Amino acid sequence: MKLLDKTKKAFFSENPVTALLLGLCPTLAVTSSAENGIGMGLSTTFVLIGSNVVISLLKNIIPSKVRIPAFIVVIATFVTIVDMGLQATMYDLHKTLGLFIPLIVVNCIILGRAEAFASKNSVMDSFWDGLLMGLSFTFTLFILGAIREVLGSGAILGYKFIADTTPTILLFVLAPGAFITLGFMLVGMNKISKALQGGK
């Protein structure tokens, strides 16, 4: 039951994007389609799990004065591994996401979880925290990307469901669409998390 509670927390009341408003740069930039959202989310999840586990292992060794540079080195290492790994295994996905992967280094969610959670908790807890936070980030990006793709390109996961000639709302693929969709999503997600809390 503890895990269910944690999951609920990670997806709703402590959702990194819709409740804490962290990591908005990748959130807004890559979610022009659902596929990009999933790819970015899963890459971030991998980095998050890796950095959380390593930082939690090193928490008694890293001096507090240099903890931020040390965290950044660990995170940057994992990001570079993801970048090279994707290029070697999923070249096509890397073609779309390549630009955004180096940006994971400066994603506040990862540094935030390292500072607030992994540096104070056990390795197992940090692993679960990384996994749940990462999946919740992926979930949020997927929803955001799906809404924008449906409205902006008339497609879902690359499959077009309307004729090529039908005009779509181009705005939703462009940057303003990301802000507008995110705004509505914040309302919806906060309503859901309020309802979940009220039901307890």
| 9 CB-near residues (< 8 Å, 6+ apart) | none
Regarding 13 and contact with another protein (CB under 8 A), the answer is: no
> By rule CB under 8 A, what count of residues binds another protein?
39
**Interface pick for another protein out of 7, 8, 67, 154 (rule CB under 8 A):** 67
Q: Which residues of 69-95 are buried (b: 16+ CB within 10 A; e: fewer)?
A: ebbbebbbebbeebbeebeeeeeebbe
Asked if residue 44 lies in contact with residue 107, where contact means CB atoms within 8 angstroms, the answer is: yes
User: Which region, judged by CB under 8 A, interacts with another protein, from 73-81, 104-112, 124-132, 186-194?
Assistant: 73-81
Nearer to another protein among residue 69 and residue 188 (C-beta): 69
> 152 near 168, Cβ under 8 Å?
yes
| Residue 163 binds to another protein (criterion: CB under 8 A) | no
Binders in 117-146 for another protein, by CB under 8 A: 119
Task: Check residue 170 for interaction with another protein (CB under 8 A).
Answer: yes
Pick 85 or 188: Cβ nearer another protein:
85
Question: 178-191: string of b/e by CB count within 10 Å (b at 16+)?
Answer: beebbeebeeebee
How many Cβ atoms are within 10 Å of 129's Cβ, its own excluded? 22
- Residue 195 interacts with another protein (CB under 8 A)? no
Q: Which spans of this chain sit near another protein (rule: CB under 8 A)?
A: 30, 32-33, 36, 58-67, 69-70, 73-74, 76-77, 80-81, 84-85, 87-89, 91, 95-96, 98-99, 119, 152-153, 164, 170, 173-174
